[in-house]
Every structure is written in C-alpha cells, then in structure tokens.
Amino acid sequence: MVPYYGDFADDDTVNMPFNTFDSNDPSGSVTATDLIASDIFVHKDGSATAITTDGATIDIDAPGVGAHMVTIDTSVDAAYGAGEYAVRINGVTVDGGTVNAWIGAFSIERVGGALARIKLIETAVIANAAGADVAADIIALKAETVLILDDTNATLPTAAECAVAVWDAVQASHVTAGSFGITASEIASILVDTGSIQSETTAILDDTNATLPTAAECAVAVWDAVQASHVNAGSFGITASEIASILVDTGSIQTDTTAILDDTNATLPTAEECATAVWNRDATSNQTTGTFGKAIGDPVADTETIYDAVVKDAAGINVATDIVALNDISTADVNAQVVDVLKTDTVTLPGQTAPPLAPTFEQMISWLYKVLRNRTNQTSTQWSLLADDESTVDAKATVSDDATTAIKQEIVSGP
C-alpha cells in the first residue's frame, strides 16, 4: 500500500521519506544508486502525464544507508492546486535491480477536507465583496438598520433602559404557564395567604387572651414534663425511667455492702494491703502451670524452678554454678593464659597489603616483626619489603634524597 502523507495548503512543501532494502534480506537496508531529481514524477488526479515542473528534489542516504527523503515544492508550478497527487520513481537501481515504483501520495486542499472548508469560510466571511456572502449581508443589514432608525427618528434602547422595562412590566400581562410572570403571580398569592393566616392567628390569640410561648418557655416545659407520663418504648422518657431504676439498684447494693461490713466488723483492704498480700504469698500453694507461682517454684518440692536454678542447685549444674565458677578465676589462672599467648600462640605475618591506619596490637607487632625478619631492598627511588620467597614485593614506599633531606613516603601495598 502506498503511504498517504497528508493534506497540504497550496504552495506548501511536502516531505516524503522512503526506504530501500536488500532483496535477499528484507531487514537489511541498501542504498539507491543513480537516483536523481529527474527520476521523480508527480501525477495529479490520476493523470498518466506527470507535472512538467514538479519542484522535486532527492536526498539519498541522508540520515543513513537506505533512508531517503523526497522534497516537493508545490509553489514552483501553477499546475499544482486543489487535487490528489501520487509520486513515483523511475529507473532507479536498488540491490542490482532496476526499480519503478510509486513511493507515496498527498493532497492539496482535498475536496471536503478541513483545509478546503476553512478556505471556503475565509472567502465567504472575509474575502468576498459586499452582497456576495455572509460578510456582505451583515454589512447591508447594518446599513439598513441605520436607515430605518434615521427614518423613524428612533434610537436603540440602552441595556439599562431594557432592564428597567423588564422589571417595570405589569406582571398581570405575563401569565403564560412556566414563565417568570406566572411565578411572580403565584408568589404574590402565597404572600396574600400568609398575611391571612397571620391575621387569623392574631385574632384567635386576641379572642382567647392567649399568647404564643417563647422558646425558653417551650424548653422549660419539655424538661419539666413528668417522666412517668412518657414511657413509650425507645423514648427518652423510658430511658430516664431505666436510669432511675439503675440508680435505685446501685443504692441498694451500696447499702447492703455497708451492712455486711458492719455486721462482720470488717473493712475493705487498701490497694497497698492487696499488693503486699500478693507479693508475700507463699508460692508453695500456687503451682498451677503458667502462673507466677509455678515460675518461681515450690521451694520444697519442685527442682525445676527459678528458685532452685539460682539458689539451691549445686555448682556446675545451673546458673548459680556458672556464676560461682566465673567469679573463681585466680591470678595464677590469668598469668597462665598470658604466658600461653606470649610463648605458644602464633600469628600470621601480613601478606601483600599496606599497613592499616587503625591497627590492632596484633597487627602492629606482626608488621614490626616482618620488617625485622624479611628481606628489604633499597634503591634511590624505592624501599621494598619482600615476602618470605625474597622475590615478591609485599609492601613498598617511595624514597628521595636531594642531598639535604632524605624522605620515605607512606608504605603502600606491593608489588
């Protein structure tokens, strides 16, 4: 399918990219040889005859091999204009073969297209002379309106005058169903009815020598109402009745508790007395699994308790034993361990690395011993510390001497 490159305005420039590929490998791009501008032909509206001066140019392999760009300047020839266009190449060599092919299509102000419609609107509204289209009609209408106003000595009303006329219009003349006039009429009727109700209410109050209660009086009447007369299920009255019953029951419980304490000459224990009783409780009588009593243990019968492990068990059996043993290290034991470290334990000398900035004591001693034991080489520019094989450089430092100051730089890793 030949690609369509869009609808353009007259005299626009059209860019049409296309590609050429290897005949044996459709995914491989190849160049197009001997393709020049004269090999490009533009045909209008299906004509077999190409436009003589088509304004076409070609850029071969512009962004890369096999990617080409045809550019067509439609302003070079009057033959261009509204219509449909097809573009072909002729006699082009691609991968050793001669190619004649349509490469794309475009249109200029296509009939029914957006550009054509916009141009028609532009012509009708702006470009055409008076009397030919919309612009002319508007101009003529304006001129005729001026003539009418002159003939009748009339002037158009201002916005303020229009508003005044609307609001001052007699409502009775505008009572069509659904109009603002009928709505105003209905509102007026409601106001009349409201006034009548107010007058009748005033007359009733005058006849009965009564007055409407104030808000404060209504509130007092509600809160002072006898609760016993309002006991419907779910009402505030029944809720108040239930609360009153609870208060009565609570009072009875308090009275009964006081009477029991009086009869037994007893008093309720204080919080401090309760706490003391709990902590001073003998765990022997409280050995239910999972309780604090069980965890502490029966000092007499149970051998697997905190009490036994920490206090009763012999040395070497439990925590108590380990603590005792830990605190039973003599000076001689400590001395023996130190002697063992100094005379028996060995260390591995540093390998091919630099001395650390924050060494341990073991690292400091091992580095001093390695420098003392192993072979070192000294040249005019470098000091080297060799491994045990006396050939591998494990560490080194740059040295210099200007006959005034001899310098050895920081030791770094070899080789």
In CATH, what is the architecture of 4-111?
Sandwich (2.60)
Predicted pLDDT of residue 123: 75
Q: How far is Cα of residue 261 from the mean position of the Cα atoms in its chain?
A: 68
Lowest mean pLDDT among 8-22, 43-57, 184-198, 382-396: 184-198
Predicted pLDDT of residue 291: 80
Q: How far is Cα of residue 96 from the mean position of the Cα atoms in its chain?
A: 57
How far apart are the C-alpha atoms of 44 and 51, rounded to whole Å? 7
**Total residues found in the chain within this entry:** 415
Lowest mean pLDDT among 208-222, 374-388, 390-404: 208-222
Q: Which residue has the tokens 């808000």?
A: 215
Q: Select from 333, 337, 332, 305 the least CA-distant residue to 318.
A: 305
Q: Do residues 413 and 353 touch, judged by C-beta distance below 8 A?
A: yes
For the cut 80, the answer to whether the pLDDT of residue 154 exceeds it is: no
Lowest mean pLDDT among 161-165, 395-399, 400-404, 406-410: 161-165
Predicted pLDDT of residue 174: 80
Predicted pLDDT of residue 5: 94
- For residue range 32-89, list pLDDT tens digits in order: 988 999 999 999 999 999 999 899 999 999 889 999 999 999 999 999 999 999 999 9
State the burial class of residue 287 (Cβ atoms within 10 Å of its Cβ: 0-12, 13-18, 19+).
middle
Lowest mean pLDDT among 22-26, 284-288, 313-317: 313-317
How far apart are the C-alpha atoms of 198 and 43, rounded to whole Å? 91
For the cut 90, the answer to whether the pLDDT of residue 252 exceeds it is: no
**Arithmetic mean of pLDDT, 96-113:** 93
How far apart are the C-alpha atoms of 42 and 234, rounded to whole Å? 93
For the cut 80, the answer to whether the pLDDT of residue 316 exceeds it is: no
Torsion over CA: 378, 381, 387, 391 (sign): negative
- For residue range 207-240, list pLDDT tens digits in order: 888 787 899 988 988 888 877 778 788 777 788 7
**Arithmetic mean of pLDDT, 392-400:** 97
How many percent of the chain have pLDDT more than 70?
90
**Arithmetic mean of pLDDT, 122-128:** 71
∠ at Cα 6 (4, 10), nearest 5°?
130
How far apart are the C-alpha atoms of 236 and 52, rounded to whole Å? 102
With bands split at pLDDT 50, 70 and 90, how would you rate the model's confidence at 304? low
3 against 264, higher pLDDT: 3
State the burial class of residue 399 (Cβ atoms within 10 Å of its Cβ: 0-12, 13-18, 19+).
middle
**Arithmetic mean of pLDDT, 134-162:** 80
Predicted pLDDT of residue 245: 84
Amino acid of residue 336 = A
Q: Select from 121, 18, 15, 126 the least CA-distant residue to 72.
A: 15
Predicted pLDDT of residue 415: 92
CB atoms within 10 A of CB 263: 8
Q: Do residues 6 and 104 touch, judged by C-beta distance below 8 A?
A: no
For the cut 70, the answer to whether the pLDDT of residue 321 exceeds it is: no
Domain ranges within the chain, ordered by starting residue: 4-111, 117-152, 215-254, 361-413
Rg (CA), the chain: 57
- For residue range 283-301, list pLDDT tens digits in order: 777 778 878 777 777 766 6
For the cut 80, the answer to whether the pLDDT of residue 14 exceeds it is: yes
Q: Do residues 19 and 68 touch, judged by C-beta distance below 8 A?
A: yes
Predicted pLDDT of residue 45: 95
Q: Read off the tokens for 118.
A: 């916009």
**Mean pLDDT for the chain overall:** 86
185 against 251, higher pLDDT: 251
- For residue range 274-284, list pLDDT tens digits in order: 999 888 887 77
For the cut 80, the answer to whether the pLDDT of residue 362 exceeds it is: yes
- For residue range 332-348, list pLDDT tens digits in order: 888 998 999 888 999 99
> What's the number of CA atoms in the CB half-sphere (13 Å) around residue 360?
5
For the cut 70, the answer to whether the pLDDT of residue 117 exceeds it is: yes
> What's the number of CA atoms in the CB half-sphere (13 Å) around residue 213?
8
